[in-house]
Structure 1
Amino acid sequence: MLLLSACGRKDNYRDIDPDKIKPWVPKAEPLSQYGNHSPYRVHGKVYQVNNNPVGFAQTGKASWYGKKFHGRPTSNQEVFDMYKLTAAHKTLPLPSYVEVTNLKNDRQIVVRVNDRGPFVGDRIIDLSYAAAKALDFVNDGIADVHIRVVHSPKDLVENPIKQGLTYLQLGAYSDKNAAYNLAKKTSELLGIETFVTILTTHAGALHRVRIGPISSEQKVNTLLNKITSSGIPDAKVITE
């Protein structure tokens, strides 16, 4: 059964403590007997299930669904429990484990994908009420997220950056006004502290707009996706 995305309301929902929700430990599981038929069609559009999602990642909008579907079968015929960390995705194999990062507040969780959807608008994933609660966007209804497939606990380990200090550089300008304007824009747009460093060269002063230092590759990737999706296209990783 294909469940359509339903951006839930929190009215009359049981309040839950996100810190007490049982987390998933990602692991290899056999494909479900149901829900993996490919290709399939919804609302006239054809979807192809990705049976080899190694390295799969997406950035886009997430919604959440809850009471309307609570207790009903998901696409792989499990029972949907809105108080568990589960999700619906259009093309990932069922089941899959996905790390979801809320780009607004950098909260992260792992969800188990056991349903198909969302088939509304431009949303890339539909999360359970519990998952939306853990990521703190129940009231917003929609969140900008980054998702990536994880296959085992080792995929969740943040690899520390050991050589030098790592920054995201958003641009480098001879015109200091351009640099400071970009730094101000980034700080206001994303709520991230952004600064300008000056490098003296033979050609004159170079004003570099930066964020950091950043302590792990995971945080670098999260910030890079957040910055790029906000319309700042030239950000790059710098290690010094």
Structure 2
Amino acid sequence: MFGHPIPKLPQHDWDGLDATHIVHADEPLQIIPTSDKLKSFPFYFAHDVKHALNLCVARQTVVQKLQQAAALLPAHIGIVVLDAWRPRAVQQALQDDIGHVVKQTYPELNEQEQQALLAQFVAPADSDFISPHLTGGSVDITLFDINSGEWLDMGAGFDEPTERSYTHFYEDQPESAACGNRRLLYWAMASVGFSNLPTEWWHFDYGNALWAHYANEQHALYGAIQWEGAAS
């Protein structure tokens, strides 16, 4: 299973997600626990992103499925959670920060083209839009070697706004470490019910509108939810 190629899926349309019907699951957020095979590193807090949390929280079922996926991995490999539930304030900060990176990296693109590229990597922060992370159903993750503690080579940095971040990018280089590691991560997560955002090798969903879209589900389970004490 882990050696199978990653399918190339089409880019979603953020506007279309608004129409997804939600059958709300009465399920709280919880702190993602630490174990030998599952750890958290609140990436945005560590990198001083405005309003970022110093912990990672997600819906109960998402946490359970993360633990199941970690258990499926080889004994020496675990999952690091970089981000999970995210308030609108952080979403806006990422729009600003990564938008600046896009402008600096692609000066040859006009403003409309830059915004289209940004939309591949960062969901809207509009007050009337429910971003995937705001539901507690999204997780940004990578793999680590339990013996050394080192993160595995995934071929592109977390939040890197380039084509190298597309999940299937290394499928034409099957001999590369990045291809093998992405397949390992993708299929471990898919096998327990997560869907993947095709433009981000690190982003996985369960229960929200993005998951419903890629998993061909009739409705989502999670709408917006608030973590007590977080900036809105």
TM-score by length of 1: 0.23
Q: Structure 1 or 2: larger helix share?
A: 2
Give the number of the structure with larger relative contact order, counting CA–CA contacts within 8 Å between residues 6 or more apart: 2
Which has the greater radius of gyration?
1
TM-score by length of 2: 0.24
Q: Structure 1 or 2: larger strand share?
A: 1
